[in-house]
Structure 1
Amino acid sequence: MPANDLDLLIEAARRSAEVATAFVGGDLGVQYKAVDDSPVTQADLAVNTLLTQFLREARPDYGWLSEETPDGTDRLNTKRVFIIDPIDGTRSFIQGENTWAHALAVVEDGQAIASVVYLPMMDKLYSASLGGGTHLNGDRVTASATARPDEAQVLATRPSLDAGHWPGGLPKLKRSYRPSLAYRQSLVAEGRYDAMFTFRPTWEWDIAPGALILSEAGARITDGKGAPLRFNAQVPKAEGMIAANPDLHAALMQRRL
């Protein structure tokens, strides 16, 4: 069993990929959650079962927060907690696309300290540890230095560019999109895009793994109102998020206030 948390998450992500990819091209048993009508497949549940067994056996004293596990209060009394999205981008998975990911983090006292985002269909493994930098398939990556919003390429949904979100004036951005929030964050950490944001209430399992990958790549990440992100909250949701290098982040926030 890996001794440190990052190696443990990397092994867990690769084991998850073996489970998830076995479902590709077959019957996914798609169902829709009553709470928000979002889809869940048999692959999501199988990966969640694997991760629950593997990670909790390895670290039985850690708390647990996963999209596919009913939440409780025990995690609030633990120093460290796993925050997991077994398959981030389930709709992409259902449609046979390759931009879905396994997103895993260990959080200590509200701060992610080890994170992995793995896209098995592209064999892209992003990893970060607190103070250890961000890596893509073992190579160090950093966020871009683009400082001007009108020169920035961003990852965002169309509703995020509604004028109501930008009281200081909608910036002239070049917008693209990826279904997985974890992958959007990772692409900004890699420097392929300059910023990403969403202003909808956002579950912690969608953003905790990517938050450390971004910050260790030199990006600044906050909620959609500019407040610091803290994880393992009693209600595990954030008020959206915005991420970019510090100069671009500041310039975008000027338009948000």
Structure 2
Amino acid sequence: MTATPPDVDRVLSVAREAATAGGNVALSAFRTPLSITPKASKMDPVTQADVDAQNRVVEVIRDSFPDHTIVGEEGDQLKEIPDTGPAWVIDPIDGTNNFTHGNRVWATCIAYVEDGEPQAAITRLPALGDEYVAGDTTLRDNEPVTVSDRDDPELCTVSLTFGLQPQHRPLFAEVSRNLLEAFGDLRRFGTGQVSLAMVAAGELDGAVSAVRLSPWDTVAGVHLVRQAGGTVTDIDGNPWRWDSEGVVASNGKVHDTLLSIIP
């Protein structure tokens, strides 16, 4: 017999508890001496705080849902989202480079998915005190938010959410140039999840990665944008899923322009 999926309110309650607990672990190590180990490249670090924060998030989730799948960035957690059943997708510190530099823009991110589709998400910024949450709607610090209604690209601000890997630098440079020519302003925060949360809340009008990102870098933020009334596709304009090539998120009104700048 297939178990009945938990309701969204219960999932969100656990997600918020887990993000708070994991975020507090990370925050306790913030701006302290850190042992930093590079992963795929020198700009892809991991610290003990990443590992400890993820372990704490997993502990909280396991207390309520011991049989659910966990997909996590660090350690030996699963790295892909299963096609069926419930799963939790965790990034204990999205923006580790910011974290290691003492920059406050980093987040603890959790998404809950059923059969590969996001149902609930939280992006919590412990050092800044902001929290973005989405079940059926999107909230920022417990207040409802929606994507912006700006439709003139020259009045819009967009963010790039890729470019750390050396092999992606030429494409990053080309997309950056195209964005600067088509849009009013450009931001780079060093954390894709925070950029997506900002699109959801209307703080940005769009965010783009022209390369595939990991599920822990995207799924929570994509759900925030969708539930706030935004549009999220792959780089060809097809509906986005966790293994899509790239991610393009916007308020919907400037989406075609965003797609057009990707070579």
With the length of structure 1 as denominator, give the TM-score of the two structures.
0.87
Structure 1: 5+ residue runs without aligned partners?
232-236
Q: Measured at CA, do residues 173 and 225 of structure 1 come closer, stay the same or move farther in structure 2, by a change above 3 Å?
A: farther
The answer as to 2:162 corresponding to 1:162 is no
Work out the CA distance in 1 between the residues paired with 2:154 and 2:209. 18
Q: Measured at CA, do residues 191 and 77 of structure 1 come closer, stay the same or move farther in structure 2, by a change above 3 Å?
A: closer
User: 1:87 corresponds to which residue?
Assistant: 93
8 A contact 2:14–2:60 mirrored in 1: no
Report the alpha carbon displacement of residue 63 of structure 1 after superposing the two structures with TM.
Answer: 1.0
Give runs of aligned pairs for residues 1-257 of structure 1, distance below 5 A: 4-33=10-39, 35-37=40-42, 38-72=44-78, 76=82, 78-129=84-135, 132-156=136-160, 160=172, 162=174, 171-231=182-242, 237-256=243-262
8 A contact 2:90–2:110 mirrored in 1: yes
User: 1:234 corresponds to which residue?
Assistant: none
Identity %: 28
8 A contact 2:197–2:225 mirrored in 1: yes
Structure 1 window deviating more from structure 2 (172-181 vs 44-53): it is 172-181
8 A contact 1:63–1:78 mirrored in 2: no
8 A contact 2:82–2:116 mirrored in 1: no
Give 2:13's aligned amino acid: D
Q: Measured at CA, do residues 39 and 73 of structure 1 come closer, stay the same or move farther in structure 2, by a change above 3 Å?
A: closer
8 A contact 1:163–1:170 mirrored in 2: no
Runs of 4 or more off by more than 3 Å in structure 1?
71-75, 157-161, 163-166, 254-257
Report the alpha carbon displacement of residue 70 of structure 1 after superposing the two structures with TM.
Answer: 2.5
Q: Tell me the SS of whatever aligns to 2:138.
A: strand
Show CA shifts across 1:165-218 (max 9, x none): 96xx95244111111111000111111111111112211110000011001111
Q: Measured at CA, do residues 84 and 145 of structure 1 come closer, stay the same or move farther in structure 2, by a change above 3 Å?
A: same
Report the alpha carbon displacement of residue 126 of structure 1 after superposing the two structures with TM.
Answer: 0.2
Q: Measured at CA, do residues 255 and 88 of structure 1 come closer, stay the same or move farther in structure 2, by a change above 3 Å?
A: closer
Report the alpha carbon displacement of residue 79 of structure 1 after superposing the two structures with TM.
Answer: 0.7
8 A contact 1:61–1:78 mirrored in 2: no
Aligned residues: 247
Work out the CA distance in 1 between the residues paired with 2:247 and 2:209. 5
Give 2:118's aligned amino acid: A
Report the alpha carbon displacement of residue 219 of structure 1 after superposing the two structures with TM.
Answer: 0.6
Report the alpha carbon displacement of residue 50 of structure 1 after superposing the two structures with TM.
Answer: 0.9
With the length of structure 2 as denominator, give the TM-score of the two structures.
0.85
Calculate the aligned-residue CA RMSD, in Å: 2.6
Give 1:209's aligned amino acid: A
8 A contact 1:148–1:251 mirrored in 2: no
Report the alpha carbon displacement of residue 27 of structure 1 after superposing the two structures with TM.
Answer: 2.3
Q: Measured at CA, do residues 164 and 177 of structure 1 come closer, stay the same or move farther in structure 2, by a change above 3 Å?
A: closer
Q: Tell me the SS of whatever aligns to 1:87.
A: strand
Report the alpha carbon displacement of residue 148 of structure 1 after superposing the two structures with TM.
Answer: 2.6
Q: Tell me the SS of whatever aligns to 2:110.
A: strand
